[in-house]
């Protein structure tokens, strides 16, 4: 059974992540929101800390998810490892700034893919690289099985061809985890993930996207034109298992979706704290001892937002705990991501509304957080895709039966 009391070891690393958020991220948050694509040089001071956290399995964005750093309860029934550490840390860093969290060196979403799928030998080789993740293409968005990028084995090298869009940290990262098909005739079962060094021949950045939010993070379009990488840079087994289908590659999302939920939870907490301060200054006090319908309308709204936030937090804890304890969590991962993504957007937009013209201005960070929040309901699977996955799991339907 899940134990909601967090171990001291994880509290210590989360506190360190909070200090980073408070002392490094918050002071420069607006600066890099206004200077899109400019590299946040302040993050260079974090390199040593990130490496130390990775070595202990507690990366700031969960780079070593579930592979090391486990802590058993006294009765041996509970494990809190890289997944839980990553969740707690990312909640704290996103309390500071989501875009800057996505820009932390060596903490890309591709690192989570490596942790989820790589062999022990590959984890040794790629465990300390900065890896972005390239899935989406111009021809598809949420349907990850529609990958058209190809990987053909040529002697001791894979040759990759295709175009990837919306690659977070695609320009800054040292490596890119690319999803490609090794045999188009075998459908989704032939989709594999490959670790491609940024300096690999044939890999180039076509452009950087201008975005609504998370402007501190670079979002790139990547071209793979006869891009050659070593044969053993394919993550996991190169064999195409039609019976297993897409499950091997999709396992990545079971780890990363709760982390993205954590991003929305961290942002949501920042919004609620700011909003409560604004309401208090306006003379609106929030009480937990008085029924909501007997309080100021804004206070009642705040209590409803806070309750939604709390449920998102608890769902993310459950999905993450299941991952650390080797329990199948695809359903719970999608539930947590859907709930947190929707909650983060709803909380931030309502906060802007309740704060009036002050919330709409650039004086506080509320309007920035509202813009940043939307991506957390989109990437790693949109709200609609998460609901579809949940429906399939609950009803026992396959992807072909329920579309």
Catalytic positions, written as ranges: 380
Compute CA 20 distance to the chain's CA centroid, rounded to the nearest angstrom.
Answer: 18
The 3-state DSSP class for residue 112 equals: helix
Parallel, antiparallel or unpaired: strands 203-208 and 175-181: unpaired
- Cβ-proximal residues to 211 (8 Å cutoff; 6+ apart), any chain: 36, 219, 375
CA–CA dist 246, 240 (Å, integer): 10
| Closest C-alpha to 193, from 238, 245, 148 | 238
d(CA 216, CA 41): 11
Q: Got the DSSP string for 23-66?
A: IIIHHHHHHHHHSTT---GGGGGGHHHHHHHHHTT--TT-TTTT
For residues 228 and 203, give the distance between their C-alpha atoms in angstroms, rounded to a whole number. 9
As a whole number of angstroms, the distance between CA 380 and CA 390 comes to 15
For residues 381 and 179, give the distance between their C-alpha atoms in angstroms, rounded to a whole number.
15
Cα distances (angstroms) measured from residue 371 to each of 81, 180, 277? 32, 31, 20
Please name the residues in contact with 273: beta carbons below 8 A apart, sequence gap of 6 or more: none
Query: By CB neighbour count within 10 A (0-12 exposed, 13-18 middle, 19+ buried), where does 111 fall?
Result: buried
- Compute CA 250 distance to the chain's CA centroid, rounded to the nearest angstrom: 14
- The crossing angle, in degrees rounded to 10, of helices 330-354 and 366-373 is 150
Whether residue 335 contacts residue 311, with contact meaning beta carbons closer than 8 Å, is answered with no
Q: Is 81 helix (H, G, I), strand (E, B) or coil?
A: coil
Judged by DSSP in three states, 12 sits in helix
CA distance 400 to 403: 6
Token digits for 184? Answer: 């188009």
Reduce the DSSP state of residue 213 to 3 states and report it.
coil
């Amino acid at each position: 059974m899940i134990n909601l009391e967090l171990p001291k070891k994880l509290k210590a690393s989360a506190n360190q992540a909070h200090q980073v958020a408070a002392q490094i991220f918050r002071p420069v948050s607006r600066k890099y929101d206004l200077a899109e694509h400019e590299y946040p040089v302040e993050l260079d001071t974090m390199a040593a800390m990130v490496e130390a956290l990775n070595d202990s399995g507690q990366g700031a964005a969960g780079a070593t998810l579930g592979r090391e750093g486990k802590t058993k309860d006294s009765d041996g029934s509970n494990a809190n490892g890289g997944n839980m550490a990553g969740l707690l840390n990312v909640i704290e860093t996103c309390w500071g700034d989501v875009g800057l969290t996505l820009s932390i060196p060596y903490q890309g979403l591709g690192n989570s893919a490596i942790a989820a799928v790589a062999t022990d030998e590959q984890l040794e080789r790629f465990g300390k690289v900065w890896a972005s993740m390239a899935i989406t293409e111009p021809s598809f968005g949420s349907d990850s099985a529609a990958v058209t990028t190809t990987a053909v084995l040529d002697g001791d090298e894979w040759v990759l061809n295709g175009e990837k869009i919306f690659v977070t940290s695609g320009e800054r990262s040292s490596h890119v985890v690319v999803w490609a098909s090794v045999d188009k005739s075998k459908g989704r079962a032939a989709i594999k993930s490959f670790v491609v060094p940024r300096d690999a021949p044939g890999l180039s950045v076509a452009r950087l996207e201008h975005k609504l939010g998370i402007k501190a993070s670079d979002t790139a379009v990547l071209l793979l034109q006869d891009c050659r990488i070593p044969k053993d840079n394919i993550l996991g087994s190169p064999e195409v298992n039609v019976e297993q289908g897409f499950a091997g590659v999709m396992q990545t999302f079971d780890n990363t979706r709760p982390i993205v939920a954590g991003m929305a939870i961290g942002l949501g907490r920042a919004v609620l704290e700011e909003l409560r301060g604004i309401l208090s200054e306006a003379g609106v006090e929030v009480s937990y001892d008085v029924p909501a319908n007997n309080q100021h309308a804004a206070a009642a709204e705040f209590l409803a937002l806070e309750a939604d936030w709390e449920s998102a937090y608890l769902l993310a804890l459950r999905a993450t705990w299941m991952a650390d304890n080797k329990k199948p969590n695809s359903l719970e991962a999608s539930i947590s991501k859907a709930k947190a993504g929707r909650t983060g957007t709803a909380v931030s937009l309502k906060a802007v509304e309740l704060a009036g013209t002050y919330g709409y201005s650039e004086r506080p960070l509320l309007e920035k957080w509202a813009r940043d929040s939307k991506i957390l309901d989109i990437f790693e699977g949109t709200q609609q895709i998460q609901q579809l996955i949940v429906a399939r799991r609950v009803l026992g339907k396959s992807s072909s039966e329920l579309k």
